[in-house]
Amino acid sequence: MTLELHDLCLTAPGAAAPLFAPLSLRIAPGEIACLTGPSGVGKSSLIAGIAGQLPRGFVLSGQVRLNGRDLLALPPERRGVGVIFQQALLFPHLSVGDNLAFGLSPEFRGRTARRAAVSEALERAGLPGYGARDPATLSGGQRARVALMRALLAQPGALLLDEPFAALDPALRAGMRDFVAEHLRAAAIPALLVSHDAQDAAVARQSLAIAPLGAGG
Amino acid sequence: MIWLRALVAMLIGAPVLVGVGLTLAAAWGADWTKVLALPGLWGGLRLTLITGIGATVLSLALSVPLGLWIMGRPWAARWLAPMLAVPHAALAIGLAFLIAPSGWFGRALAQVLGWAVPPAWPLPGDPYGAALVLGLVLKELPFLLLMTLASASQVDVTGQMAVGRSLGYAPGRVWARVIWPQLYPGLRLPVFIVLAYGLSVVDMALILGPSHPPTLAVQILRLYTAPEMRQAEASVLAIGLVAMTAALAGIWWLAERACTAFGLMALRRGRRGIARRWPGSVVMAAQGGLFVAAMAVLALWSVTGIWRFPDLWPEGLSLALWARGDWIAVALRSLWLGLASVSLALTLAVAVLEGEHRAGRPLRLGAIIVAPLLLPQIGFLQGLTTGFLWLGLPAGPLAVIWAEVLFVFPYVLLSLGGPWRALDPDQLRAAASLGAGPWRQLWRVRLPLLARPIAAAAAVGFAVSVAQYLAVLLPGAGRVATLTTEAVALASGADRRVAAVYGLAQAVLPLLAFALALALPAYGRGGSGGRAP
């Protein structure tokens, strides 16, 4: 599994020029690449574009390949690209365990096997026995860990992280960075992280700063 | 605020209670063997269950995929309000003109297949009640969709959809498995209203339902209006219908639990589903198409001179029936009955909301407000008419207005309540800091700021009032003629053109009210800037 970006250009609705210079990047399995840049440069929109969920009006040109397969022509659910959003976005009406069960890939078959996979994921997240809990009772850091496990249980071919630590307490960020790095290495998939915080680049093998194109940015 | 609660209890709660109580009292002395031996009772019961439950389940089931479809299409959502404004009876008459053997569909088929005489299909009024179910679904679907949209504004639909799709789920799957279940609590009350309505509807059942035997509600009305005294038998059936509605609501509640459990089991299985493009668009096109075609054929018949069978278009158009003008007096009566009941309902709603605001907490009126919508109308309106007589209020326009307020008030309150509570409290505080007392705040700040929602709530209430059938027929003792009662009576008559005139007038009146509600405050805002205090 390798994620390749070729000459990616993002244009905002109604704008004539792209937001940043064409972007090319190759991310190997188990590797994290970090894109840093000021807010408003289009980092979140870039993630949304790779995931196939750009708001109407944005134009993404260039190529995105996952293991050689061109992604941009596919609907979001068939790209095999997991996304970690700024907010954990756990389903508030489902228990923590059911949030994970919803994420768990259908390749796990049978009730017992699926249940075992969910409780194992909870253990790896450091939340053993939290399956029946209401997500609202979790701390911000716990919610972020559940969101990461939910995305990984779907067995994506790549993972995109959109400022995953921004909503966390500064004291929790370092721990969460290590947690993410460790699990992404274990999953052996390429990951692309965008952040406005230069410290986040520390977890990444390669990091790239993107700057706005032109004076108007 | 105790007096306010007492007022609502007296104006809205008491009539319902008295109505059910007096119906029960009238049923007490009935001869049960005679009731059970009524011809067509069991057939009517079966028909009532099929049409009432069928229409509710079908409307709700269709509203799930359509809810997702309409979420992304604000232009389509704008059509929901006008569809809501069209009364049941007008839609039923138009639909009958579409599906009857000599209706537009029959004519279209005749053109293709070369028929010279109308086909012999039993529509409308098929023994299974299919035409009635179709009519109810066409009318209730927009209502449930509007409620779905209202409920969806409380949930982060975009974010959850993005999460679901990034986990590999098709959009329809995300919607049905995780998003819609969060919206359902907001749909429960509307669904119970639809269920109670479907089980007890009379006007639509008279036009689209079978007549041998008709639905239970129609049988009850026939007994109530029979020349010989059959009040007791009718009352037994009316109470039976109330009990049945309550029992079905209980069963529905149990079915809800079961569906929740099944839904959770399916969710845990994690099947991703495949994206399908057709369901939403196809169902919506069918619904909208039938609705618009029914209205169009209604309008066409009202200006038809002669229209021979296989022709798709009448030979000549004429305004003769409109020019006859007999509909004008009836339309004016519908208009002033509507204005009266809306004024009362609006005043009461403003009093309740302002009282709630000053008390700083909800008034806890819940059950009283929605009781008239959750009970079968025929279960208490005849008893209420008796109660009005005891109060010294004879059957006639005043009794009709009070009865209409029972159904207008809940809709006015529900549609005004949201915007009222959402008004920025800072604007009121700013007024208070300028020395405005509570009354001045109400008159000079809140009501002008809420002009648009108030106009919209009034239009909703007016549409409800114009559409009332039983609430006019029973408290009016059949002597108050409105567009609805006339249209329903004429629908079974020989002349389609006359029925079309009244049916179309009945549909146009509330649509005009909606158009006015959209237009009026726009004028008001332009002039208010430079006005001296």
B454-466: per-residue pLDDT in tens? 999 999 999 999 9
- Do B354 and B393 lie in one domain? The reply is yes
Q: What is the largest CA-CA distance in chain A?
A: 58
Asked if residue B14 has pLDDT above 80, the reply is yes
CATH number at residue B473: 1.10.3720.10
Q: What is the pLDDT of residues B57-106, one digit of tens each?
A: 999 999 999 999 999 899 999 999 999 999 999 999 999 999 999 999 99
Q: Hunting for tokens 């028929």 — which residue is that?
A: B115
Among B365, B337, B350, residue whose Cα is nearest residue B457: B350
The structure tokens listed for B69 are 């479809």
Residue A125 near residue A70 (C-beta atoms within 8 A): no
Task: Report the relative pairing of strands A3-11 and A59-66 from DSSP bridges.
Answer: antiparallel
The residue-averaged pLDDT of A56-79 equals 94
Residue A32 near residue A205 (C-beta atoms within 8 A): yes
Which of A79, A85, A91, A105 to mutate: most B Cβ within 10 Å? A91
Q: What is the pLDDT of residues B105-114, one digit of tens each?
A: 999 999 999 9
Asked if residue B525 has pLDDT above 50, the reply is no
Quote ipTM for the complex.
Answer: 0.95
Sign of the four-CA dihedral B72, B74, B75, B78 = positive
Asked if residue B367 has pLDDT above 70, the reply is yes
- SS (HEC) of chain A: CCEEEEEEEEECCCCCCCCECCEEEEECCCCEEEEECCCCCCHHHHHHHHHCCCCCCCEEEEEEEECCEECCCCCHHHCCEEEECCCCCCCCCCCHHHHHHHHCCCCCCCHHHHHHHHHHHHHHCCCCCCCCCCHHHCCHHHHHHHHHHHHHHCCCCEEEEECCCCCCCHHHHHHHHHHHHHHHHHHCCCEEEEECCHHHHHHCCEEEECCECCCCC
The structure tokens listed for A101 are 């069960």
Q: CB distance B178–A102 less than 8 Å?
A: yes
Confidence of residue A217 (pLDDT cuts 50, 70, 90): very low
Q: For residue A105, tell me if it sits in a domain.
A: no
Q: How far apart are CA A195 and CA A178, in angstroms?
A: 16
Asked if residue B532 has pLDDT above 50, the reply is no
- Do B211 and B145 lie in one domain? The reply is yes
Selected residues 228-267 of chain B with any CB under 8 Å from a CB in chain A: 264, 267
Asked if residue A196 has pLDDT above 90, the reply is no
Measure A162 CA to nearest chain B CA, in Å.
12
pLDDT of residue B528: 39
Of B16-25, B121-130, B436-445, B514-523, which range is least confident? B514-523
pLDDT of residue A214: 60
pLDDT of residue B118: 93
Q: For residue A123, tell me if it sits in a domain.
A: no
Contacts of residue B377, defined as CB under 8 A and 6 or more positions apart, other chains included, come to: B200, B202, B407, B470, B471
| A20 phi and psi angles, rounded to 5 deg | -145, 165
Asked if residue A151 has pLDDT above 70, the reply is yes
Q: For residue A57, tell me if it sits in a domain.
A: yes
Q: What domain range includes position A164?
A: 3-80+156-209
Q: Which of B318, B339, B364 is the last residue of a domain?
A: B318
- Do B272 and B378 lie in one domain? The reply is no
Asked if residue B136 has pLDDT above 50, the reply is yes
- Do B215 and B288 lie in one domain? The reply is yes
Of A53, A93, A104, nearest to B162 by CB-CB distance is A53
Residue A34 near residue A195 (C-beta atoms within 8 A): yes
Beta bridge partners of A34: A193, A207
| Rg of chain A, C-alpha, whole Å | 17
Which chain A residues are Cβ-neighbours of B169 within 8 angstroms?
A: 77
- Do B18 and B43 lie in one domain? The reply is no
- Do B131 and B22 lie in one domain? The reply is no
Q: For residue B31, tell me if it sits in a domain.
A: no
Opening angle at CA B80, ends B347 and B337, nearest 5: 35
B181 touches chain A (CB under 8 A): yes
Q: For residue B529, tell me if it sits in a domain.
A: no
Measure B145 CA to nearest chain A CA, in Å.
22
Q: For residue A121, tell me if it sits in a domain.
A: no
B88-99 and B130-152 are packed helices; what angle lies between their axes, rounded to 10 degrees? 130
Residue B87 near residue B488 (C-beta atoms within 8 A): no
- Name the domain count of chain B: 2
B127 touches chain A (CB under 8 A): no
Confidence of residue B428 (pLDDT cuts 50, 70, 90): confident
Q: What is the pLDDT of residues B187-200, one digit of tens each?
A: 999 999 999 999 99
Of A206-215, B202-211, B340-349, which range is least confident? A206-215
- Name the domain count of chain A: 1
Asked if residue B334 has pLDDT above 90, the reply is yes
Beta bridge partners of A20: A212
CATH number at residue A26: 3.40.50.300
Of B156, B166, B267, nearest to A76 by CB-CB distance is B166
SS3 content of chain B, % helix, strand, coil (to 5): 75, 0, 25
Among B84, B87, B97, residue whose Cα is nearest residue B299: B97
Q: Which of B258, B284, B318 is the last residue of a domain?
A: B318
- Do B169 and B298 lie in one domain? The reply is yes
Confidence of residue B533 (pLDDT cuts 50, 70, 90): very low
- Do B421 and B474 lie in one domain? The reply is yes
Question: Which whole-number Å values give the CA distances from B62 to B68, B138, B249, B442, in the listed order?
Answer: 11, 11, 20, 42
- Do B397 and B378 lie in one domain? The reply is yes
Q: How far apart are CA B489 and CA B511, in angstroms?
A: 22
The residue-averaged pLDDT of A113-131 equals 96
The residue-averaged pLDDT of B302-320 equals 93
pLDDT of residue A216: 43
pLDDT of residue B522: 58
Q: For residue A117, tell me if it sits in a domain.
A: no
Sign of the four-CA dihedral B480, B484, B486, B491 = negative
Q: What is the pLDDT of residues A183-194, one digit of tens each?
A: 999 999 999 999
Of B178, B270, B272, nearest to A77 by CB-CB distance is B272
A106 touches chain B (CB under 8 A): yes
Asked if residue A178 has pLDDT above 50, the reply is yes
Measure B71 CA to nearest chain A CA, in Å.
15
Which chain A residues are Cβ-neighbours of B176 within 8 angstroms?
A: none
Residue B374 near residue B193 (C-beta atoms within 8 A): yes
> Which residue of chain B comes nearest to A147, CA vs CA?
B163
A170-187 and A140-153 are packed helices; what angle lies between their axes, rounded to 10 degrees? 10
pLDDT of residue B243: 97
Of A48, A51, A101, nearest to B270 by CB-CB distance is A101
Please tell me whether residue B87 adopts helix, strand or coil conformation.
coil
Confidence of residue B529 (pLDDT cuts 50, 70, 90): very low
Q: For residue B401, tell me if it sits in a domain.
A: yes
Q: Hunting for tokens 């949930």 — which residue is that?
A: B155
Q: How far apart are CA A181 and CA A2, in angstroms?
A: 17
Confidence of residue B268 (pLDDT cuts 50, 70, 90): very high
Q: For residue B533, tell me if it sits in a domain.
A: no
A89 touches chain B (CB under 8 A): yes
Percent of chain B clearing pLDDT 90 (strictly above): 82
Question: In whole numbers, what is the pLDDT of chain A averaged over residues?
Answer: 91
Confidence of residue B365 (pLDDT cuts 50, 70, 90): confident
pLDDT of residue B115: 93
- Do B212 and B327 lie in one domain? The reply is no
Residue B513 near residue B462 (C-beta atoms within 8 A): yes
B41-71 and B180-200 are packed helices; what angle lies between their axes, rounded to 10 degrees? 150
Q: For residue B145, tell me if it sits in a domain.
A: yes
Q: For residue B370, tell me if it sits in a domain.
A: yes
A150 touches chain B (CB under 8 A): yes
Q: CB distance B270–A114 less than 8 Å?
A: yes
Q: CB distance B162–A98 less than 8 Å?
A: no
pLDDT of residue B117: 92
Q: What domain range includes position B310?
A: 38-318
Which chain A residues are Cβ-neighbours of B262 within 8 angstroms?
A: none
Q: Which of B298, B318, B338 is the last residue of a domain?
A: B318
Confidence of residue B278 (pLDDT cuts 50, 70, 90): low
- Do B287 and B368 lie in one domain? The reply is no
pLDDT of residue B423: 86
Among B83, B101, B95, B190, residue whose Cα is nearest residue B133: B95
- Do B249 and B331 lie in one domain? The reply is no
Measure B164 CA to nearest chain A CA, in Å.
8
Q: What is the largest CA-CA distance in chain B?
A: 79
Q: For residue A204, tell me if it sits in a domain.
A: yes
The structure tokens listed for B198 are 């479907």
